[in-house]
Structure 1
């Protein structure tokens, strides 16, 4: 609700979808490996950094190369962002699948740093609620 309150549902659809997937993992599989605090925070940090880097790269390339097909550029930078995010999460042991979606969403949709702040606040709120409710949360199977 917090993220929906502060972000435009129609502009930030992919960011909201990524956070929805995180919410599902945290509250339906609280003891899962990807629901650990380290994985959530680490995964989103890696995904956001990767997304920002490859988004910046695509913006620079669009200005420098007139002949490049815009959709092809987004496909390439999106694939690189996803691949690098998966690789870095794997080597840092911070696997959280929805964070890969966040990396891709920063390539495909408009965003600003304020929206990323809302993402981190939302993640921290979810982690806090999970800790407060840990006694009652069970894995649904």
Structure 2
């Protein structure tokens, strides 16, 4: 019954914040196209964090932007190696996690960004789109902070 009570109390926020997340992903999909689905997936996870749990540490601007930059850097560096995919993919994720926790940029979806970069060998255009998307998501969260509620 607790779930139902919470839903009755916050149903407008559930709908509004879900629509904000959906619109942000729509803009990203229209920008990068369907070929970069792994990048879109990591940004969708970021949208969830920014709009469903906007006051969480992981939704903070420095964590979202810093985490995705860490993922881009680690993934890009590993694409320059001659490692087989079964070494490259897990190393991209592991190194991104190491960099994020060392620099205090914890943002779980950024590990997905690192994996996406190693799978797709990201271009400069896609890297810029990821960074701009992270900035836009955090700015939407920031400017809507007075109306967004933690839904988790």
TM-score range, shorter chain: 0.7 to 0.9
TM-score under structure 1 normalisation? 0.86
Aligned length: 127
Unaligned stretches of 5+ in structure 2? 1-25
Alpha-carbon shift at residue 21 of structure 1 (Å): 0.2
**CA distance in 1 between partners of 2:33 and 2:122 (Å):** 11
Per the alignment, residue 43 of structure 2 pairs with 19
**CA distance in 1 between partners of 2:100 and 2:129 (Å):** 22
Per the alignment, residue 11 of structure 2 pairs with none
**CA distance in 2 between partners of 1:92 and 1:120 (Å):** 18
Per the alignment, residue 52 of structure 1 pairs with 76
Alignment of 1:66-105 (within 5 A): 73-105=84-116
Higher relative contact order (CA 8 A, sep 6+): 1
Alpha-carbon shift at residue 107 of structure 1 (Å): 1.0
Structure with bigger helix share is: 2
Q: Say yes or no: does 1:138 pair with 2:136.
A: no
Per the alignment, residue 67 of structure 2 pairs with 43
**CA distance in 2 between partners of 1:133 and 1:8 (Å):** 27
Structure 2 contact 79–121 (Cα < 8 Å) conserved: no
What's the Cα RMSD here?
A: 1.2
Structure 1 contact 30–137 (Cα < 8 Å) conserved: yes
User: Residue 5 of structure 1: which of 14, 18, 30 is its match?
Assistant: 30
TM-score under structure 2 normalisation? 0.80
Unaligned stretches of 5+ in structure 1? 63-72
